[in-house]
Amino acid sequence: MMINEPLAEPILLTVADEPTVVIRHHGVTVADLPNLFDAGFTALAASGAALSGPPFAIYRGDPAAVFDMEIGFPVSAPLPAPVEGSVTVEPDTLPSGPALALSHIGSYDTLGESWGRLAAEAAARGFTPTLFFEVYVSDPTPETDPATLRTDLFLVGTPA
């Protein structure tokens, strides 16, 4: 799911089905994320899949505790079968449906503030989230100023 312009305010939109490739992880904690992202993005890039957009991470469960996640990329053509390796790259589809979205500009260290803002908007609208995901629009290279990173945040769920 790519949004052309950053969203300064939460908006309701519809996430469409989109073919992806993912690596699934179960029983994850926040402390696990750096290693999972580094290994995951390397494996996804080496999978041979036709990557067609920025990477994303889908989270299911409580991010303050133990949760499940998928790290992936949209693809221009579905992967015909899983690719085995140190981790398994699987064909999948981006979860679709109604979503509240907001863009976070800045360091990953301050993502929690934007997630809090989006969660408050969901509560105010009576929107019931079933999962959430982040799209990493900016490439976080060592040379990138963290203040300029853009991450689009999505709460997928059921409107009131």
Q: What is the pLDDT of residues 83-128, one digit of tens each?
A: 998 899 999 999 899 999 999 999 999 999 999 999 999 999 999 9
Backbone angles phi, psi at 113, to 5 degrees: -65, -45
In sign, the C-alpha dihedral spanning 67, 51, 101, 92 is negative
Q: Which fold has domain 11-158?
A: Multidrug-efflux Transporter 1 Regulator Bmrr; Chain A (3.20.80)
Sheet strands side by side (includes 56-61): 11-15, 97-105, 150-158, 128-136, 56-61, 67-74, 19-28, 90-93
- For the chain, the straight-line distance linking the first and the last C-alpha, in angstroms and rounded, comes to 23
pLDDT in tens, 51-83: 999 999 999 988 889 999 999 999 999 999 999
pTM for this prediction: 0.93
Domain ranges in the chain? 11-158
Q: What is the DSSP letter of 75?
A: B
Q: How would residue 160 be classed by pLDDT, with cut points 50, 70 and 90?
A: confident
The neighbour count for residue 85, using CB atoms within 10 Å, is: 12
Per DSSP, the three-state class of 31 is helix
